[in-house]
Structure 1
Amino acid sequence: MPRHEERRTLPFSAEELYAVVVDVDRYPEFLPWCLGARIFKRAPNQFWADLIIGFKMFREKFTSHVHLDPVKSIEVSYVDGPLKYLHNRWDFMPEPNGHCTIDFVVDFQFKSHLFEKLVGALFTEAVHHMVMAFVKRAEEIYGKRS
């Protein structure tokens, strides 16, 4: 049951960081091991999306339901794929200086213990690099800041 939590204060506004995280269709451009992403259904403050994750011989599709509280939080609920469960949440807290503190949490478990032994360590490593990938994307879009 790998779990990763991260809190960082970043030199971007909550609006800027929220826009980067919610732009799921662009994930393959910057998110390591994301080979494809597609939002297939939209509703007010929510959408359903498929992500294709791959590295080495591993390639799997994940379907998730994403709940949006605009510029405040993004909560991802697992629908289908190779996992027993997945919970992911981003919280965006504006700072007085225009920066933003983010709280990122992801918790998951594979359905198969064999599958977890084969790719669990790689999947866990990918999760640990996710926040930095989003920071680098924000720098590409909005410019590097300190």
Structure 2
Amino acid sequence: MPGIHEVHRLPYSAEQMFDLVADVGRYQEFLPWVVATRVKSDNGSEMIADMLVGFKALREKFTSRVEKVRPREINVHYVDGPMRDLDNKWIFHPVSDTSCDVEFDVRFTFRNALFEKLAGQYFDKAFRKMVSAFEARAEDLYGAPQDS
């Protein structure tokens, strides 16, 4: 199953980054290709959410179950949509009171093997664009990093 695993050190606390990632209802404000989100239920430790993604005339809806273990981990499990499988995991490793390592792992399988091969060629670029969007959102919410 194709995927990406990366770790980024960020100048924000693990709690801040957890809150940013867990705020699925605001993804359309800053993530590329996210047209709309709808949180169907959220009890604090588990959320069910729909996400409408689009590029030009293409639109697809994904439903996911999001398990939250505050402030350490967020696991996203694919429930329904155009893919066969899509799971990702965020782990927030505190480094200090004002920084953390954000570990991100995503694995996916398309229903169509040819589409998976084609999409896989662009996945890395799309992934990097989304990582940059999360980092820019953190700066918008929490301020620019301070030099030590």
Mapping of residues 69-108 of structure 1, within 5 Å: 69-96=69-96, 98-108=98-108
Conservation of the 8 A alpha-carbon contact between 1:46 and 1:66: yes
Distance of aligned partners of 1:109 and 1:124 in 2 relative to their CA distance in 1, 3 Å threshold: farther
TM-score, normalised on structure 1?
0.91
Secondary structure (helix, strand or coil) at the match of 1:12 reads coil
Which amino acid letter does the alignment assign opposite residue 16 of structure 1?
Answer: Q
Conservation of the 8 A alpha-carbon contact between 1:4 and 1:105: yes
User: Residue 110 of structure 1 corresponds to which residue in structure 2?
Assistant: 110
Q: Residue 90 of structure 1: CA displacement?
A: 0.3
Counterparts of 1:33 and 1:123, CA distance in 2: 13
User: Residue 59 of structure 1 corresponds to which residue in structure 2?
Assistant: 59
Q: Residue 128 of structure 1: CA displacement?
A: 2.9
Which amino acid letter does the alignment assign opposite residue 91 of structure 2?
Answer: D
Counterparts of 1:48 and 1:104, CA distance in 2: 20
Counterparts of 1:136 and 1:14, CA distance in 2: 16
Counterparts of 2:38 and 2:124, CA distance in 1: 23
* Deviations 1:60-106 (CA, angstroms, capped at 9, x unpaired): 00000000001100000000001111110000011135211010011
Q: Residue 119 of structure 1: CA displacement?
A: 4.7
Counterparts of 1:52 and 1:96, CA distance in 2: 36
Q: Residue 43 of structure 1: CA displacement?
A: 2.6
Which amino acid letter does the alignment assign opposite residue 18 of structure 2?
Answer: Y
Secondary structure (helix, strand or coil) at the match of 2:62 reads strand
Aligned residues: 146
Counterparts of 1:133 and 1:3, CA distance in 2: 19
Conservation of the 8 A alpha-carbon contact between 2:13 and 2:96: no
* Deviations 1:5-60 (CA, angstroms, capped at 9, x unpaired): 11011000011111110111110010010001111012340010000111123210
User: Residue 29 of structure 1 corresponds to which residue in structure 2?
Assistant: 29
Identical-residue share of aligned pairs (%): 45
Counterparts of 1:57 and 1:116, CA distance in 2: 19
Gaps of 5+ in 2: none
TM-score, normalised on structure 2?
0.90
Gaps of 5+ in 1: none
Secondary structure (helix, strand or coil) at the match of 1:144 reads coil
